[in-house]
Chain A
Amino acid sequence: MRGISRHLNCILACKLGVLHFLFSGYEILAKDKKIEHWTYIKPIKAKVPENSRWGYNEIDFFIIDKMKSVGLSPQQEAPREEWLRRASFDITGLPPSLNEIDLFLKDDSEEAYNKAVKRLLSSSKYGERMAAWWLDGARYGDSHGYDNDLENSQWPWRNWVIESFNSNKPFDVFTVEQLAGDLLPNPSNDQMIATGFNRNHRIQTEGGAIDEEWRTEYVIDRVETMGTVWMGLTLSCARCHDHKYDPITQREFYQLFAFFNNLDEKGFINNLRGSAEPRIRYKKKEFDLKVSQIKKDYPEKSDQDQQISKIEPFYPHVMVMREMPKKRKAFILDGGQYDAIGEEVLPGLPSSLSSVFDESLMNRMTLAKWLVDGEHPLTSRVIVNRIWALFFGTGIISSTENLGVRTSPPSHPKLLDWLAVDFAENGWNIKRLVEQIITSSAYRQKHAVDAERLKIDPDNRLISRGPRLRLESEMIRDQALFVSGLLVDKIGGPSYWVYQPVGLWRDIEKRGKFEQDHGDKLYRRSLYSRIRRTVPNPSMAIFDMPSREVCSVIRSKSNTPLQALSLLNSVTHVEAAKKFAERMLLIEGELKDKIRWGFRSVTSRLPDDTELELLLKGYQRRLDYYKTNSDQSNALLGVGESKVSSLLNPDELASMTTVANVLLNLDEVINK
């Protein structure tokens, strides 16, 4: 029931926003009935406000300027451990190791923060963290969705995303390859796979479905997803009629539709597993080499087939975009209905966002390049705003999914434009943008809040303190695996079935029986947990991970009793507590040293005496119980598939597991 206070916070923030809106030159001008809204005008790099005594980079000068205007001053700088923990999660999705904390604390040079950020950005875990973010908008899942919801094999596309972030592929290239990689001259296998972005949508496999109805649906999904991810516009409104608020006509919607309409695909495929055409094989050259080697090594055909079937799961077919030589005609669909065909349209760009092109020359490449040509008023704002939201919880425009006319006013419009232009001017360099944000004084403030800040800036839209945000679902599980030593440090590859409650598939059992994976496969980062879109893993869904059925670029941060139950009782978290307790007991020194080590592992700081005392007492109390109930100790230590050292006393280990259970549930630990 936190709804009401949230609304109120919004109201206040909005009122402040509206005030700013009125005085900042951002206004809606009515000219000859044509609406001109600032989001349709190319951003210009605003003058950075007068240098203030506070601040590290340009971001801060905009932030302090605004803060001063409402009578707030910046919060103190965060303790170094607090900043490092936040930065580590934000950049890599994992907490810092104790060694990393020590090294950072020892380095009192001016450059310590920059060095730490550079180290984090060069970790391959950065690509995994950013991929988890990108996959929401790309509605990536490991199954086809809808009725049968059988498995697909799109994971090589996910590999491409991870590698692209790690190699810091400029965002304009990243965009062009995903939207039109197949139209590049002599596209590489990777560039083809990149276009899987537009094939990640669900596919209807229910008997009786009408082929053209669903093929139309996929094309519409592509338009809507591109609209949300790159343009920050709700293009879907124009599916049935001219957009009510934004200057997008229904005709223009179907002109965008025409860009994505031209591949040889089916709308309905009965009981589809794997990839639907058009598709290509992942790492085809490597696969072909291995196959020819197998054919040399095994003379018998049956042995050959057996060997090939062993390697095939690692070289699956991936669904991609490929143009048909003869263009499929596109039409305005009356009311958005597939069979209500109206006037024919050619591919074209919305007139409010582009100057006129020669329509006959247009294809997806034109579209992709137009999005990132530096002239498009929305793309750079949209992406900068989303990355801001990733680190501060809320975008400079809070509706990260909609920057159209009906958007809520930005908290710092000039900063948004400055960042947008700066980003595009500097090669669409995402790592650079992340570094600017994470090293800023704004981000370096401590996240503690006082009554005054809470009153004037309840949702921290003005950044009057450091961000304090609940960890995302993947981070919560990954942290538990990391501190318990279970996490398997390996990048990329197929997805795996991790623990889920028994009987979860009961209502869909006709569609397949759940077979959990084992061993190392159980302890990969959550990015690699298999997603069956219609039956999400509850422990992920409970922490607000979207089902990936449709594009989603905003995750809520709910706070519910089901989260408590998941963290207290799920196999994943109890097993992690058990293994974490084992590590604690293996630390040399007295009991309090062991607990201190554990506390610091999850919070990045040392406990004070009260905290330590409370945990010590709890350990002793529960140890007394387990000593006289050893069967209970063994029962607890039997949770999860991993084994614990037989050299440790089970009663001590069980009691320490309860301490670890407390630690992994601390509010401080599931926030950053």
Chain B
Amino acid sequence: MIEEFRSLDHLNRRTFLSGSAHGIGLTALGSLFSNDLNGALHLDHIARAKRVIYLFQSGGPSQIDLFDPKENLEKQRGKELPESVRMGQRITTMTSTQKSLPVHPTNYSFKKYGQSGTSFSELIPNIGSMSDDICLIRSLHTEAINHDPAITFFQTGSQLAGRPSIGSWISYGLGSENNNLPSYIVLTSRGGSSDAQPLYSRLWASGFLPTENSGVKLRSSGDPVHYLSNPPGISNSMRRDILDDLKGLNEKQSSVIGDPEINSRISQYEMAFRMQTSVPELVQISDEPESVLNLYGSDVKRPGSYAANCLLARRLAERGVNFIQLFHMGWDHHFKLSENLPRQCKDTDKPTAGLIADLKQRGLLEDTLIIWGGEFGRTVYAQSPEKNGGRDHHPKCFTMMMAGGGVKGGYVHGETDDYCYNITKDPVHVHDLNATIMHLMGVNHEEFTFNFQGRDYRLTDVHGRIVNKIIA
């Protein structure tokens, strides 16, 4: 029995979990995983998305200036934010000491796009042009008010460090579709704005899940994956020759010692060698025709740009990587909003739209879930209004975009009040969003647990309601 189960190691986990392989049904599986993976992955519904491309906009983009127009707010410009709106809710110490909280309506115009007529800011016309494929959630809200806890909360369902990231959960649950690449890949880029929060590897770490489920970061300078290149003086054929010697000795040791980990290590070295080919081939974009490159804008040729990362995301999606996450820094516009926001939008507007269009023309959009958004929104009141100011952090309401992967295109979910301060309809908590992402991937977020410290942990803690209204 054990031997039979061991052989499942190299089976595609998704196939296995769907209950068809080897005739082992889900009931058997449930007990099989009862220790670590309680209840296992009940793929009790058909997955709408095979993979996720998560375009995380680190710093907190301004929903007021991009996605959530408030036509009547102009009349309030410069007036104090009414207490009936703020209702004593906490604000950060960056503006809590400010003498006044003057209402600052957006300076940008909005336009309705597509058949759906969804409004988008003039700063993001290319995204607007994909309106009929996009689902906007204007009623996201979160619990944290500072960057580190807020982004950690999005990534892991907890504000405190140590829990597995969403990509690690998916990697652990669904495994990999590609034997030459890791199942969770991360790319980072930095916008022109100087207000960039640092990004930490903890954000894509596996927490208490097995380490092999950590996100692997593809880097734009030096080795795309740490230590991928052979050192100077070691050619590819020499590396093969060295690995053959290594394999010979390890196999001999395996036959003497009998520890199954030795064979596992032998296969990890083989995968490492394959990655030495597959990763450079992945990041080498010279085979992309000009027409495709044009979709993403001219920045696409600059390695490490958001545009280049969007193109790589599509290439990863094609290669069967399940969870692809981009982090784009530079949305933390406390100051100089009028300079930094347009610049940041210019970096991201065309590539984001281009990615959606490119996936669509390849027929990949329908089973690829795209998510775009940051860790919180921004305040309607101005920070440092006397100077060239900006907006402070606002966790009470903000907007995220989704596309493809089973969500409704041309649909807007949720509403906020006249000041874009509080949610008035269909609130979506971070846990709800994560529950919905998992649901679209075919995973029941309530049953997918991992026992650690005597407790069954979930990405969504004890919360999370699937937002059914956004599902097509």
Contact between chains at A661 and B227 (CB < 8 Å): no
Given contacts A404-B454, A658-B238, whether A208 and B92 have CB atoms under 8 Å apart is yes
Contact between chains at B148 and A207 (CB < 8 Å): no
Q: How large is the interface on A (under 10, 10 to 19, 20 to 34, 35 or more residues)?
A: 35 or more
Q: How far is the CB of A236 from chain B (nearest CB, A)?
A: 9
Contact between chains at A407 and B257 (CB < 8 Å): no
A543 to chain B: closest residue by CB:
B211
> Which residues of B are found within 8 Å of A511, using beta-carbon distances?
198
> Which residues of B are found within 8 Å of A625, using beta-carbon distances?
238
Contact between chains at A618 and B201 (CB < 8 Å): no
Q: How far is the CB of B86 from chain A (nearest CB, A)?
A: 16
Contact between chains at B212 and A568 (CB < 8 Å): no
B31 to chain A: closest residue by CB:
A11
B361 within 8 A of A: no
B75 within 8 A of A: no
> Which residues of A are found within 8 Å of B393, using beta-carbon distances?
208
A404 to chain B: closest residue by CB:
B454
Q: In the complex, A11→B6 CA distance in Å?
A: 13
B468 within 8 A of A: no
A559 within 8 A of B: yes
Residue of B34, B226, B265 touching A11 (CB-CB under 8 A) = B34
Query: Which chain A residues in 628-661 approach chain B with CB under 8 Å?
Result: 632-639, 654, 658, 661
> Mask for B159-189, Cβ within 8 A of A = 1, else 0?
0111000000000100110000010000010
Contact between chains at A448 and B245 (CB < 8 Å): no
Given contacts A11-B32, A406-B455, A667-B262, whether A541 and B201 have CB atoms under 8 Å apart is yes
> Mask for A405-441, Cβ within 8 A of B = 1, else 0?
1111000000000000000000000000000000000
> Mask for B224-268, Cβ within 8 A of A = 1, else 0?
011111111111001101100110111011101111111011101
A501 to chain B: closest residue by CB:
B226
Residue among B146, B201, B235, B239 facing the most chain A CB atoms (10 A cut-off): B146
Contact between chains at B33 and A7 (CB < 8 Å): yes
Query: Which chain B residues in 5-32 approach chain A with CB under 8 Å?
Result: 5-6, 8-10, 13, 31-32
Contact between chains at A234 and B453 (CB < 8 Å): yes
Contact between chains at B250 and A566 (CB < 8 Å): no
Q: In the complex, A580→B161 CA distance in Å?
A: 40
Residue of A570, A611, A622, A665 touching B241 (CB-CB under 8 A) = A622
A546 to chain B: closest residue by CB:
B162
Q: In the complex, A544→B9 CA distance in Å?
A: 21
Contact between chains at A7 and B32 (CB < 8 Å): yes
Given contacts A1-B175, A11-B32, whether A559 and B264 have CB atoms under 8 Å apart is yes
Contact between chains at A455 and B2 (CB < 8 Å): yes
Contact between chains at B148 and A206 (CB < 8 Å): yes
Contact between chains at A10 and B94 (CB < 8 Å): no
Q: In the complex, A614→B246 CA distance in Å?
A: 10
Query: Which chain A residues in 531-586 approach chain B with CB under 8 Å?
Result: 534-536, 538-539, 541-542, 544, 547, 549-550, 552, 556, 558-566, 568-571, 574
> Which residues of A are found within 8 Å of B317, using beta-carbon distances?
none
A633 to chain B: closest residue by CB:
B233
Contact between chains at B232 and A636 (CB < 8 Å): yes
Residue of A268, A510, A549, A561 touching B202 (CB-CB under 8 A) = A549
Contact between chains at B245 and A1 (CB < 8 Å): no
Contact between chains at B222 and A501 (CB < 8 Å): yes
B313 within 8 A of A: no
Contact between chains at B268 and A559 (CB < 8 Å): yes
Q: How far is the CB of B447 from chain A (nearest CB, A)?
A: 15
A541 to chain B: closest residue by CB:
B201
A401 within 8 A of B: yes
Contact between chains at B454 and A405 (CB < 8 Å): yes
Query: Which chain B residues in 194-229 approach chain A with CB under 8 Å?
Result: 196-202, 205, 210-212, 216, 219, 221-223, 225-229
Contact between chains at A556 and B227 (CB < 8 Å): no
Contact between chains at A449 and B233 (CB < 8 Å): no
B271 within 8 A of A: yes
B46 within 8 A of A: no
Contact between chains at B231 and A399 (CB < 8 Å): no
> Which residues of B are found within 8 Å of A289, using beta-carbon distances?
none
B35 within 8 A of A: yes
A294 within 8 A of B: no
Q: In the complex, A10→B36 CA distance in Å?
A: 8
Residue of A210, A455, A507, A636 touching B190 (CB-CB under 8 A) = A507
Q: How far is the CB of B247 from chain A (nearest CB, A)?
A: 10
Residue of B13, B242, B252, B258 touching A448 (CB-CB under 8 A) = B258
A2 within 8 A of B: yes
Given contacts A503-B222, A539-B227, whether A559 and B265 have CB atoms under 8 Å apart is yes
Residue of B198, B245, B257 touching A449 (CB-CB under 8 A) = B257
> Which residues of B are found within 8 Å of A206, using beta-carbon distances?
146-148
Residue of A559, A565, A639 touching B261 (CB-CB under 8 A) = A559
A402 within 8 A of B: yes
Given contacts A5-B5, A5-B9, A455-B2, whether A147 and B227 have CB atoms under 8 Å apart is no
Residue of A5, A211, A449, A668 touching B6 (CB-CB under 8 A) = A5
Q: In the complex, A159→B13 CA distance in Å?
A: 47
Q: How far is the CB of A635 from chain B (nearest CB, A)?
A: 4
Q: In the complex, A639→B234 CA distance in Å?
A: 11
Query: Which chain A residues in 477-508 approach chain B with CB under 8 Å?
Result: 501-503, 506-508
Q: How far is the CB of A574 from chain B (nearest CB, A)?
A: 5
Of all A-B residue pairs in the complex, the 6 with the closest CB atoms, nearest first, are: A636-B233, A406-B454, A508-B198, A564-B272, A635-B232, A635-B233
Interface residues of B (CB under 8 A from A): 2, 5-6, 8-10, 13, 31-37, 90, 92-94, 145-148, 160-162, 172, 175-176, 182, 188, 190, 196-202, 205, 210-212, 216, 219, 221-223, 225-235, 238-239, 241-242, 245-246, 248-250, 252-254, 256-262, 264-266, 268-269, 271-272, 275-276, 329, 392-393, 452-455
Other A-B pairs, 18, CB within 8 Å; known A470-B261, A565-B226: A1-B212, A208-B393, A406-B455, A468-B257, A501-B219, A502-B221, A503-B219, A508-B199, A549-B161, A550-B161, A562-B216, A565-B272, A570-B226, A618-B245, A638-B233, A658-B234, A661-B242, A666-B249
Q: Return 19 A-B CB contacts under 8 Å, by A number.
A: A8-B32, A208-B146, A208-B392, A209-B93, A245-B455, A268-B93, A399-B454, A405-B454, A447-B257, A448-B259, A449-B259, A506-B221, A508-B198, A535-B201, A558-B210, A559-B265, A636-B232, A639-B231, A665-B269
